[in-house]
Amino acid sequence: MSEPTWFEEKGELVIFMVHSHARLKGVSSIERIRAKLNYPKTTLIALPCCPGYRPERDLGRKPEMEYEDWCVFSDKRKVQVWRWEEGGEGVVVCGEVGEGVT
């Protein structure tokens, strides 16, 4: 039997989205990412750079924490933090669709 990976041992997922334009919907939704990893405790940290990019649109809720980090050497230094506890809703992910599911 192999040793558990760091992720399996710690069981926590941290996602950093620094000046990212990645969308968190469809196959890359936070629900699908968490489902693939068996719903670990999750923290998402975003430093959005453009006025049109709003992670809360894809996440469906406002961040739990938001602040300006003056150690970020950019005028785009707003930090947003979302958290999810371990566990979650059942989400069908790619390759797990059974018979009768369309």
pLDDT digits 0-9 by tens, 19-77: 888 899 999 999 999 998 889 999 999 999 887 788 888 999 999 999 999 999 988 99
pTM of the model: 0.76
pLDDT digits 0-9 by tens, 53-62: 888 889 999 9
Burial 56-79 (b: 16+ CB within 10 A, else e): eeebeeebeeeeeeeeeeeeeeeb
